Structure 1
């Protein structure tokens, strides 16, 4: 048995031994996701403040690293990137509603771009199995992005919170599925 197979087997055994904890975590994440979806505005602002904090800390670290390294052109770009992240984080933190709007605009643009690229990829793959799933994912991303874009500025109040809630809910479902599969394997 190779090292990778031994590692995979070890992970599976740990999951089987702790399936109940995975189930509890999954249920907690599922319920947490529902709470996030139920309060999308508060969740959107919280997500915005978290991103602001990450930008401030990340920007400060990047500025520090730029001065620590001082490697010619990489110094300049690291310094500029760090300053932009730091200032952006401070601006978002001082005005989270504007930050929420800006992040919602970025999310809409990313969904639209991702949807278009997935649709193009799907049509390039058309004769191969699975192309329809890529096309469906692309269409969903494109429609979601356009819906968020067309609803601006009001979508800023719900889009980030809804996306965060759905993400947490799906993580919860994945842990529940893992726990139930591990429980079934343990019984077998």
Structure 2
């Protein structure tokens, strides 16, 4: 008489080794347990964004200082990199470029208004390029549904770019700060929505 085969239950490694009550949490559980922190962080970001928009000159200078610090760090890193590859033929070019970036960062830190003006030029050029691209794309998609919205978005971007350049250099005193404020508000609102949504699931 044959003995019945015994069934052996196989458990996943992490479940078999983890002590009872200490199973790993997934991301949703973490967010749900800390929804209040997400909500508070989002409110702080929104308030910071509102202040940045209300005080565009101060926030534009702050953005300029941040860019200056980043450039200075990048310059130092590039100088160190140049000496690490000293045997390479491009040593002198790397060194000079690193020094130029470092000096540019220092100059922007001392005079953050210049940094804000430089950022404004980049922003205006981005809006102009985006506008031209969307207008061309809209005409290529015509007569498909939605092409008119793409055309409208391109025209708006183009107008914004031209307006920023038309007010330059005065636009450099408010454009970086306003854009930073809008970015902070969107980031903050995403955290607020995440926290409130997690609370409802809790």
Shorter-chain TM-score: which interval?
0.7 to 0.9
Q: How far, CA to CA, are the matches of 2:187 and 2:45 in structure 1?
A: 7
Which protein has the larger Cα radius of gyration, Structure 1 or Structure 2? 2
How far the C-alpha of 1:40 sits from its partner, in A, is 0.4
Once the two structures are superposed, the pairs formed by residues 120-135 of structure 1 within 5 Å of their partners are: 120-126=136-142, 134-135=150-151
Identify which of 106, 114, 117 aligns with 2:130: 114
Aligned to 1:61: 77
Aligned to 1:6: none
Q: TM-score, normalised by structure 1?
A: 0.81
Query: What is the RMSD computed on CA atoms of the aligned residues?
Result: 2.5
Which stretch has the larger CA shift, 11-20 or 94-103?
Answer: 94-103
Change (3 A) 1:25 1:131: farther
Aligned to 1:144: 160
Aligned to 2:35: 19
Aligned residues: 178
Q: How far, CA to CA, are the matches of 2:147 and 2:92 in structure 1?
A: 43
Unmatched runs of 5 consecutive residues or more in structure 2? 1-24
Change (3 A) 1:86 1:177: same
Unmatched runs of 5 consecutive residues or more in structure 1? 1-8
Identify which of 102, 127, 140 aligns with 2:118: 102
SS of structure 2 residue aligned to 1:101: helix
Aligned to 1:10: 26
Which has a greater percent of helix? Answer: 1
1:161 aligns with 2:177: yes
> CA contact under 8 A between 2:134 and 2:150: conserved in structure 1?
yes
Instruction: Map Cα deviations across residues 86-145 of structure 1 (whole Å, 9 max, x no partner).
Output: 122122122222332222122211221122223334444556676566555444432222
How far the C-alpha of 1:11 sits from its partner, in A, is 1.9
